[in-house]
Amino acid sequence: MNIKQDTFNNILLIQAEGDLLGLPEDMKLLHLAEQQLLDIGVKFAAIDISKIHYMNSTGLTILIRMLTMYRNVGGEVVLINPSLSVSKVLIITKLNAIFQVLKTKDEALQALQIQHALTY
């Protein structure tokens, strides 16, 4: 899996591409989120998963751990534009009710900026 990152107004933006299977290289997604939270204090993250082709239960666990880590400190993680196969997994597991799923990066930034403003 390839990961690109950026930070905008104290929001971590991640674009993930490939498969999210929980392999050692996939764990860098979790480590990146943890590093941004602990080292910089970023409490909000938007993950563009439109280019994730396949995700298994271990991949879901990575996303859930990120969500839990950020919510435990008053933050949030949103998912952007999941691919069709990932959308099906989110629906089947009912995680679409746990994660906020948005269509665009702009929608995600707007939603997280509002949440950020409400927490401060």
Region of 94 on the Ramachandran plot (φ > 0 left; ψ -120 to 50 alpha; else beta): left
pLDDT digits (tens, 9 = 90+) for 6-42: 998 889 999 999 999 988 888 999 999 999 988 888 9
CATH number belonging to domain 2-119: 3.30.750.24
**Residue 120 banded pLDDT, cuts 50, 70, 90:** low
Residue 62 host element (H or E): helix 57-71
pTM of the model: 0.93
The domain ranges of the chain are 2-119
CB-based contacts of 81: which residues, under 8 Å, 6+ apart? 48, 49, 50, 102, 103, 104
pLDDT digits (tens, 9 = 90+) for 38-95: 888 899 999 999 999 999 999 999 999 999 999 999 999 999 999 999 999 999 999 9
Closest by CA to 5, choosing from 111, 35, 22, 114, is: 35
Higher pLDDT, 31 or 119: 31
